[in-house]
Amino acid sequence: MQKFKKIDAEEAQKLIHSKGVTIVDIRDPGAYQAAHIDGAVSVGDQNIEEFLQKAPKDKPLVCYCYHGFSSQNAAQFFSENGFVDVYSVDGGFEEWQKFSLK
């Protein structure tokens, strides 16, 4: 059962600006280095355990990837690991960039 919410780039931007959220970028480190959402944390196999231990589980968590597919799996994973308010950005970073340019 899906425990997270899918939101579009506009909703994600409003959520990020309205309250303290944790933003997770699950793309590869090279893509993260090239460009990412301000305040996003790069999370992958190399640091997932540390992230699960240290990240506040009571704050909203916004996940994104390249196009919004992998982040749904990640969002489900985070939901199953104690995060209560989890979101996946539809369209991923690609959509975020298009929306941010408007």
Catalytic residues, which ones? 65
Q: In angstroms, rounded to a whole number, what is the distance separating the alpha carbons of residues 82 and 102?
A: 35
| CA distances in angstroms from 27 to 4, 19, 102, listed in the order given | 19, 24, 23
- In the numeric block, the tokens 């997932």 are attached to 48
